[in-house]
Amino acid sequence: MSELLDRFLSYTAIDTESVPDVEQFPSSEKQKNLLRLLANQLAETGVEVAMDDKYGYVYAKLPANNGNNGGYKLGFISHVDTSSAVSGKDVKAIVTRNYDGGDIALAEGRTLSPDEFPSLRAHLGKTIISSDGTTLLGADDKAGVAVIMQAVRYLMTHPEVKHGELRVAFTPDEEVGRGTDFFDVARFDANGAYTVDGGGLGELEYENFNAAGVKVTIKGKSVHPGSAKGAMINANLVLMELQQMLPVEQNPMYTEGYEGFFHLDSMQGTCDEAMAGYIIRDHDRNKFEAKKTLFATVCDFLNVKYGKGTVTAEIKDSYYNMKEMVLPHIHLVDNAKTAMQKAGVTPIVTPIRGGTDGARLSYEGLPCPNLFTGGYNFHGRYEYIPYEDMEKALEVVLNLVDIYKDR
């Protein structure tokens, strides 16, 4: 159908799944396979490109071709890794043209159905790209990667299209929250940027969660159950008690919009010792701090009840809401709205119920709102993206290039 589609499908076929909770960076070496390919493809277009061989980052520069070499340096960033929630190995994409509103048959008897995913009904007549249901698709964020790469190719093969100084970067390990750990903002050398890592058509985001992770360890006292009265402390039950003391209405399954939450992400244990991983989220900084204080207070209470040292909780901030860093550069948001409207897309400004590379980069001096890719159902086997919406994302990127060319 087009070079953009072929490019996207070729990227989804490369396994780039990242691995949570490991020290090495990137968390999986296979991410570098796609990063090397991108570096080579960028070099073939004639842009200045460099790959950080140790960490995998790819940086590229497009000099201005309109004489405005001292002007605003605009960047675009996407990540290559896919979530470990569902396998990203051996992705077999299904391309359904002229979608008729019915079920899309996947492998192993699965279906991508509008009854289960009503968002499909908004895409009648479009080309729907999905996985075959045995893996995720990888539109998060290979759609963003493909859009940026196609924009670069278009600009480099159409010198009559004038633009200012542009910057491009591709990162590993966004899905495990470490995408910017070793990102060199000075080397990227942009005044402002956009991550192309959003969801449905028109999404524009410059607010995200404040985020913290918690590692909980509970030391129990294992005693033979036959003689446990008055002596046993079951670490599993203490963990259950901790969970029950957190506000039930602040569980992720009951929250939306600007509502924050406590999420029990993992747990394992025996009577003698139990461990759990929590994440704490809130858009409001004061509410975020209050949530962390509440969690610590619950742990303190349990230590009074069961004895000092029974419960330890290591609370570590992950990232913060980028809104306060973006507001002084609100032109990035306003111009994104204009770029969408020029493409016939209605901007939908929503808070990110998560984080992006741009959140941390904004706190490192690179304000970085997030643009849509067109994708839905990320991190799962029912992930899909309408091709026409990905085309619109490309059009928006090129419109932004035009808007900033004389700034």
| Alpha-carbon span 183 to 58, nearest angstrom | 10
Peptide bond into 141 cis (omega under 30): yes
Asked if 389 is an active-site residue, the reply is: no
Q: 17, 81, 357, 391: which is the annotated catalytic residue? A: 81
| Partner residues linked to 94 by β-bridges | 130
Q: Which of 17, 140, 165, 174 is catalytic?
A: 174
Say if CB 93 and CB 106 are below 8 A apart: no
Residues ≥6 apart with Cβ < 8 Å to 13 = 91, 93
| 213: three-class secondary structure by DSSP | strand
Active-site residue, 174 included: yes
d(C-alpha 33, C-alpha 223), whole Å: 52
Sign of CA dihedral 88, 257, 208, 215: negative
Strands 261-269 and 273-282: antiparallel
42-45: long-range contacts, CB 8 A cutoff, minimum separation 24: 42/149, 42/152, 42/168, 45/152, 45/153, 45/156, 45/157
At 135, the amino acid letter reads T
CB 159 within 8 A of CB 338: no
Q: Which helix (H) or strand (E) holds 193?
A: strand 192-196
Indicate which residues carry an active-site annotation. 81, 174
